[in-house]
Amino acid sequence: MKFFRNILNSRSDSDGNFFVQIQKILGFQPKKKSLYKKAFTHRSMNKRDVEGTPINYERLEFVGDAMLSSVVATHLFNEAPRGDEGYLTKMRSKIVSREHLNELGKELNLIDLVESKIPKSNFGSNIHGNLFEALVGAIFLDLGYAYCERFIFNRVIIPHVDIERLEGKVISYKSLLIEWCQKEKKTFSYNVYEDTGKDELKHFSVKLYIDNKVIAKARATSKKKAEEKASKRAFFAFQAKISRTK
């Protein structure tokens, strides 16, 4: 009996610490606590409810993504009255980019709260942004739009959104480089190949050709990251020329 009591007490202590941390992050009291546990449960736990529905943060990510886009879009609409649809879309993309969401998740140390059978050191960088989106989704489903909006303003918009600074921020060097190549009628291609070597994680290498010449090389843990890294190097190689054609 004492053994079971100790187990129950340890679970209670663990949950208590979890919700103390959640309340500190939110700045207000959560109601449906099960939503927040789900927001930090990785699919590797293989948890299911009584109806057999998976319990993990992936569906909450979807809701959180929509809420971030909605709140940020409304803020930009109000703060940039002269911006057309294209401008507003680009600015929203910069604010809710995967890179920025990962930074927000790291800032809040959300990975410390995740329940997973995978060692935290094995997660990619996107886990931070995924957890941030899931947390936003949980807030909305728990307390509604007003609380969700308040959280996004306090954690995203007020500390991080400077419209003038964001106007000059590049969110995709690959898109920028391709746009310039098309405008200047230059041929381009990305030659990507697997290059694991002695690394435990799979790596990819890429050679970026412009007008049949290798302009940049890069290596990363995904094809997309490798292409973006090579594009960034090529962008700085051609920066003066690209700036003149803007």
Report yes or no: 75 and 1 within 8 Å, Cβ to Cβ: no
Among residues 15, 61, 107, 133, which one is catalytic? 133
Q: Could you give the CA distance from residue 246 to residue 85 in angstroms, rounded to a whole number? A: 20
Q: Characterize 69-78 residue by residue with b for buried, 16 or more Cβ atoms within 10 angstroms of its Cβ, and e for exposed.
A: ebbbbebbee
Q: In this structure, what token pair is assigned to residue 136?
A: 């936003």
Q: How far is CA 221 from CA 224, 227, 232, in A?
A: 9, 11, 16
Beta strands across the sheet bearing 204-210: 188-194, 204-210, 213-220
Q: How far is CA 4 from CA 10, 15, 18, in A?
A: 10, 17, 21
Is 184 annotated as catalytic? Answer: no
Q: Could you give the CA distance from residue 19 to residue 24 in angstroms, rounded to a whole number? A: 8
Is 133 annotated as catalytic? Answer: yes
Q: Collect all residues with Cβ–Cβ distance below 8 Å to 201 and sequence separation of at least 6.
A: 221
- Nearest CA among 157, 121, 151 for reference residue 137: 151
Among residues 13, 49, 65, 227, which one is catalytic? 65
173-183 vs 223-237: helix crossing angle, rounded to 10: 60
Q: List residues with catalytic annotation.
A: 65, 133
